Chain A
Amino acid sequence: MAAFIAGRVLYALGVVFGVSVAVFFLVRIGGDPSALFLPPETSVAEIARFRTLMGFDRPLLVQYWDFITDALQGDFGRSLRYQQPAMQLVLERVPATLELSGAALLLSLVIAVPLAILGAVHRGSIFDRLGLLVSLFGQSFPAFWLAIMLILLFSEVWPVLPPSGRGGLRNLVLPATALAAYSTAIITRLLRSSLIEVLSSDYVRTARGKGLSETAIVYGHALRNAAIPTLTVIGLQVGALLGGAVITEEIFAYPGIGRLAIQSITNRDFTVVQAFVVLTAVLIVSINLTLDLVYAALDPRLRRRH
């Protein structure tokens, strides 16, 4: 088990290193952003001085070496626009995004889990049809359009909820609903099909043969076994939620890391984009690593497979 854990941790570190390389070179495809940060009348000599000051005139590999050695010490450079440490800017906004993504994930689970269980246990029933409808619709709505329509309905036509900003629970309802639509669809669909598969397996038939109640079978056996693939997907949904938060936060003027990411990308604020991407990668990789280790602890066959 120790070798397995060491292997997975090393692999996860490798993935984060790969992400750092990718984002570093990606944001520099179009050259350095000196022109964007200096007034149009700036002389060539002044541009050259700015480039030297920012280190843009050095070879890319040297720049990357400086970036990665500083980043390992927690220094992602200063934001070119805000003149503050880039990682600090991102970290200040993390609680807001975690609040939004957490609320969306919770909402998804509250809707998806009962729908999937009812759908799988009572196949063809009204609950099953409702679950299928939710999963089909949730995957087909453009999230940003849903967000605009929610603002129209609940802030304009029937003004009961605020259309923007961060504050109490009321500010969270509309953005979390818009963000939860896709995840709800995916989780309902997957948990339902996993449960159906488990409910038709031999050990469930044996349990039925032994006279166990349907409730004991579903909650004691089926749900536990269907939870493994569902947990994997919930892990993947964290990435999707963080990605979705980018556009949802923009529409609801919600002060999270997604909104900061869009502003930094359009302003070509390299350092903030790098800090954002590396931080989200660390988060996503850590969640997947934790899930991998939990599965391996639960199911020894997985250790051998890796």
Chain B
Amino acid sequence: MSALAFLRRFCRSWIAATGLAVVVLVVFVAVFAPYLMPFNPDAQDIILRLRPPGSNFGEGVHLLGTDALGRDVLSRLMISARVSLLIGFASVVVSGAIGVTLGLVMGYDDRWLGRGLMALTDIQLAVPFLVLALAVVAVLGPSLINLIMVLGVTNWVQYARVVRAESLVLKNREFVHAARALGASTIRILWRHLLPNVMSSVIVISSLQVAKMILLESSLSFLGLGVPASIPTWGVMIADGRNYVANAWWVAATPGIAIFLTVIGINLVGDRLRDLLDPKLRQVET
């Protein structure tokens, strides 16, 4: 099926098409933020602090108002989209790489190595994620790379479990037996024969994981253990606005709405991809 035909099939559901439109819009804003922002997101003006949405002070309209340091909320929202999306996608690549590799090994070798790794997934599931991530970031210090690595390293279990379940079935299929009989090495079988067959599930999980990572990043940044406070993200913006929520609701409310719309868009895309690419995953995930 060509990409265009797939897109047409995808958009047959108007809900999924709306989700895709939201995601495309957010990505567009994130990429072109420097050209779209009405103000410099870091420019402070203490006289203009906490002004409500629609305020105009000669230089232009602050459509979403200003924050406690007089910075334009809309411009900060736009530039924050970059960091939030970057962390969301990059951490999914890390967790996917770890989870798929371990899942393939666990499924292909269900003796001591596979069982040992399976125990590792249970150990990970027995610790509340947020605590695990907080502990690591607190020790390593907040930085973009640390955050991506922490989110990646603490979220590989879902990939591993689904890929393992599929590999357990796939390894007994004839094409794998044939490859083994022809002398293919284990690594070649995993890489060339099993991996392509689990990719549709991996794509579906990845799409849903991006949404989860964006939520987790905002939680960690909100607690001051995500990215350094100087880098604007939606979570940092909510933390900044939290103390003024009674008299300047827009500072904390708007980044939350941005997170909500982005996550809901990604979830709708992910749900549709699951229905199209891998309907049986609905059962495996449960």
Chain A interface (Cβ < 8 Å from any Cβ of B) = 11, 14-16, 18-19, 22-23, 26-27, 29-30, 136-137, 139-146, 148-149, 151-152, 156, 190, 193-194, 197, 229, 232-233, 236, 239-240, 242-244, 246-247, 250, 261-262, 265-266, 268, 273, 276-277, 280-281, 284-285
Contact = CB atoms under 8 A, between A and B. Distances in A.
B120 interface: yes
B270 to A, nearest CB: 10
Contact of B253 (A14, A149, A233, A240): A149
Given A26-B135, A265-B138, 17 more contacts: A16-B126, A18-B119, A26-B139, A29-B136, A29-B139, A136-B267, A137-B264, A140-B264, A142-B263, A144-B222, A145-B218, A145-B255, A152-B249, A152-B253, A232-B286, A243-B129, A262-B223
A265 B252 contact: no
A137 B268 CA distance: 11
Contacts of A197: 283
Interface stretch (B2-10, B42-50, B179-187, B238-246): B238-246
Interface residues of B, number: 44
14 contacts: A15-B126, A18-B123, A23-B127, A26-B136, A27-B135, A29-B136, A29-B139, A142-B259, A148-B256, A149-B256, A247-B223, A261-B131, A280-B128, A284-B126
B119 A268 contact: no
Given A239-B128, A242-B128, A148 B238 contact: yes
A192 B139 CA distance: 42
Nearest to A26: B135
B238 A139 contact: no
B138 A268 contact: yes
A140 B131 contact: no
Contacts of B139: 26-27, 29-30, 268
Given A145-B256, A148-B252, A243-B131, A30 B140 contact: yes
A28 B21 CA distance: 45
Contacts of B260: 140-142, 145
A267 B212 CA distance: 27
Indicate the member of A142, A244, A266, A285 with the most B CB atoms within 10 Å. A142
A281 B119 CA distance: 14
Nearest to A144: B222
A177 B249 CA distance: 20
Contacts of B267: 136, 139-140
Interface string B264-278: 100110000000000
B130 interface: yes
A194 B286 contact: yes
Given A27-B139, A247-B219, A145 B259 contact: yes
Contacts of A193: 282, 286
Nearest to B220: A247
A86 to B, nearest CB: 15
B122 interface: yes
A278 B120 CA distance: 15
A277 B136 CA distance: 13
Interface of B is mostly: helix
B127 A246 contact: no
B134 A265 contact: yes
Interface of A is mostly: helix
B24 interface: no
A30 B219 CA distance: 23
Contacts of A136: 264, 267-268
B215 interface: yes
Contact of B126 (A137, A151, A239): A239
B131 A144 contact: no
B125 A190 contact: no
B285 to A, nearest CB: 9
Given A26-B135, A139-B267, A145-B238, A152 B245 contact: yes
B256 A190 contact: no
Given A136-B267, A144-B238, A194-B286, A266 B128 contact: no
Contacts of A273: 131, 135
B211 interface: yes
Indicate the member of B223, B225, B263, B264 with the most A CB atoms within 10 Å. B223
Contacts of B263: 139-140, 142
Contacts of A247: 130, 219, 222-223
B15 to A, nearest CB: 9
A151 B246 CA distance: 9
B56 to A, nearest CB: 26
Given A144-B219, A152-B245, A156-B245, A243 B130 contact: yes
B96 to A, nearest CB: 20
A14 B211 contact: no
Contact of A23 (B135, B140, B264): B135
Given A140-B264, A148-B252, A19 B126 contact: yes
B135 A265 contact: yes
